[in-house]
Amino acid sequence: MMQVKTINFNIKGDDRGSLIALEQHKEIPFDIKRVYYIFGTKEGVRRGYHAHKSLKQVAVCVKGSCKFLLDDGKSKEYVELNSPDLGLLIDKFVWREMYDFSPDCVLVVFADDYYDEGDYIRDYKEFIRRVENDS
CB 33 within 8 A of CB 24: no
Of the candidates 99, 91, 95, 97, the one whose C-alpha atom is nearest the C-alpha of residue 124 is 95
Q: Which is nearer to ligand T46, 11 or 35 (CB)?
A: 35
- Of 50, 67, 92, 130, the active-site residue reads 50
Does the footprint of ligand T46 cover residue 128 (CB under 6 A)? no
Site mask, ligand T46, residues 74-113, x = CB under 6 A?
----------------------x------------x----
φ/ψ of residue 3, rounded to 5: -90, 120
Angle at the Cα of 93 (from 92 to 95), degrees rounded to 5?
A: 110
Instruction: Give the CB-side neighbour count of residue 81, counting CA atoms within 13 A.
Output: 33
CB of 109 to ligand T46, least distance (A): 5
Q: Which is nearer to ligand T46, 78 or 115 (CB)?
A: 115
Number of residues that bind ligand T46 (CB under 6 A): 10
Residue 25 appears among annotated catalytic residues: no
Which of positions 31-60 make contact with ligand T46 (CB under 6 A)? 34, 36, 38, 47-48, 57, 59
Distances from the Cα of 63 to the Cα of 1, 12, 38, 60, 85, angstroms: 29, 17, 11, 9, 10
Q: Which is nearer to ligand T46, 20 or 109 (CB)?
A: 109
What is the rounded CA–CA span in Å between residue 27 and residue 79?
A: 19
Residues that are catalytic: 50
Interacting residues with ligand T46 (CB under 6 A): 34, 36, 38, 47-48, 57, 59, 96, 109, 115
